[in-house]
Amino acid sequence: MLYFSQTQIRVLFFALAITHPLLSRPCLAETQVNTSTKPGAAWRLQSTIILENLPSNNTVQSLDQFGGLASPLTKATGFFHTQLIGQRWWLVTPDGGLFISRGMNSVSQITTPGGRASLKQKFGSSQEWATQTLDLLRNDGFNTLGAWSDTATLKSASKPMAQTILWSFMSSYGKKRGGTRQESGHTGYPNDCPFIFDPEFEPFCENYAKKLDSQQQDPWIIGHFSDNELPWSRKMLENYLSLPSSDAGHRTAINWLENRHDSSSPITEDDRSAFLAFAIDKYLTITGGAIRKHAPHHLFLGPRLHETVYHLPEVFATLGHHVDIVCVNYYRAWSPLKKLMESWSIESGKPLMITEFYAKGEDSGMGNTGGAGWLVKTQKDRGAFYQNFTLGLIKSKVCVGWSWHRYADNDPDDKNVDPSNRDSNKGIVSNRYDPFIELLESMKPLNLQVYNLVSHFDSSN
């Protein structure tokens, strides 16, 4: 197989129209990036659009204190909300500014001995780490702290940043109840059956949600996630039926099926789809009710979805009855699929937020065996992926923001993390707080031009 020594290869198409979804007319430049799915797997060139391939527009936009457009303004409610304007979904800041969230997950201190030593050497204190880290993020155009961020420490900085908060309702209940296991990136449940139907789950959620009370007047909180990557699938009906007969989930599935049709009838695909919707509705009624009661001014972001549900319309339709934004950890795609994203928004009737995506650089020296993100050759290639992917999100009109996963590289010295977070170059900084300059040099111009890019794509359609 032919391998390319250059990290990027510029190809000009003069005779044929380019078919990449981000290019609205032929004869524009396209970049090729070498990619792989994991170490040792084959490398493949991916068509990639970067800012250099698009018309430049460096118009400086006036922004409100949250990072939203100061003009035009829409209704200010004092808290973040969503609004469909024309054919495009927006977040709206508490001041009424139109807002696209550019987030960073896991903005937290590195807790290994080496990480603590580096923090002391580079920053001197946790408070100074918070100040300099927020300055780094703002300087590079990020405006949101994503899931798993150390918001308590980061609040010590003089200027706050908008945030989304992950609360693990089901996962926390499962740890208290017993029977869960750690899987790659998320909690595992018996037979992939979350404990939705346990009679103790609802009172647990009511008590757990009291943690939100102290934050309910905070205008910097965009919203709350209820859990991460629950195992939604059309196998759930049979999975619950295969639990012990004493289990509440088993009893619920039996009763549900008997009320639907004669128990001797075979289970149909319609049954499987309907039960999945029933289970999700139950989960969202409980967790969403608790979150809305204790954080009435913030958005309910629901559970962060992953690839098991990408092609299950009943999941998105059910979410649409409960959440304010559908949140998806979007992997296995070099460029986001516009029609797929549109289907998620149409089925739910809500905007989207992409809450995880990333690429790992071979030049980092990390093992890069963990996690679902792409493997590329260099940090510059990671930046090309960021630009290409987020340009697709902007063009979709249904996406109100995204979060790169994550702030710091995995630290192999941390033996307590799950298998997906042990040895990979996911961060914008290393596990000793050294910024990846070439990556950030690509992220920054894209982030700072988001609103100009919105205008470009909207005027092109």
Question: Per-residue DSSP letters for 92-122?
Answer: E-TTSEEE-EEEES------SHHHHHHHHHH
Q: Is 269 exposed, middle or buried (0-12, 13-18, 19+ CB in 10 A)?
A: exposed
Q: Can you give the pLDDT at residue 21?
A: 54
Number of neighbouring beta carbons within 10 Å of residue 194: 28
Q: Which residue, among 357, 422, 382, has the nearest Cα to 104 in the 3D structure?
A: 357
Instruction: Report if residue 338 sits inside a domain.
Output: yes
Q: For the domain that residue 208 is a member of, what is the CATH number? A: 3.20.20.80
- The CA-based angle 189-195-198, given to 5 degrees, is 150
Tally the residues of the chain. Answer: 461
Q: Can you give the pLDDT at residue 111?
A: 96
Q: What is the helix (H) or strand (E) element at residue 254, kind and residue range?
A: helix 248-260
Q: Can you give the pLDDT at residue 406?
A: 98
Please give the residue range of the domain that contains residue 302. Answer: 54-460
Q: Could you give the residue ranges of the DSSP H alpha helices within 189-247?
A: 201-208, 236-241
Instruction: Report if residue 197 sits inside a domain.
Output: yes
Instruction: Report if residue 60 sits inside a domain.
Output: yes
Local structure of residue 260 (DSSP, 8 states): H
Q: Could you give the residue ranges of the DSSP H alpha helices within 311-449?
A: 313-320, 338-348, 379-396, 437-448
Reported pTM: 0.93
397 — phi, psi (to 5°)?
75, -10
Query: Which structure tokens are listed for 297?
Result: 């001014």
Structural contact between residues 324 and 82, judged by C-beta atoms closer than 8 angstroms = yes
Query: Which structure tokens are listed for 182?
Result: 């750690």
Instruction: Report if residue 23 sits inside a domain.
Output: no
Distance of CA 417 to the CA centre of its chain: 19
Instruction: Report if residue 39 sits inside a domain.
Output: no
CA distance 173 to 439: 39
Query: Which structure tokens are listed for 31?
Result: 């970049």
AA identity, residue 194: P
Structural contact between residues 151 and 165, judged by C-beta atoms closer than 8 angstroms = yes
CA distance 114 to 413: 8
Q: Write out residues in the chain with pLDDT < 50, as ranges.
A: 1-19, 24-27
Instruction: Report if residue 195 sits inside a domain.
Output: yes
- The CA-based angle 144-147-148, given to 5 degrees, is 120
CA distance 374 to 334: 8
Q: In the Cβ-directed half-sphere of 247, how many Cα atoms lie within 13 Å? A: 19
CA distance 96 to 66: 10
Query: Which structure tokens are listed for 64?
Result: 């409100």
AA identity, residue 43: W
| Domains: count for the chain | 1
Residue 255: CB partners within 8 Å, gap ≥ 6?
Answer: none
Instruction: Report if residue 358 sits inside a domain.
Output: yes
CA distance 209 to 170: 12
CA distance 248 to 241: 10
Handedness of CA 370, 376, 380, 381 (dihedral sign): negative
Q: Is 448 exposed, middle or buried (0-12, 13-18, 19+ CB in 10 A)?
A: middle
Q: Can you give the pLDDT at residue 27?
A: 41
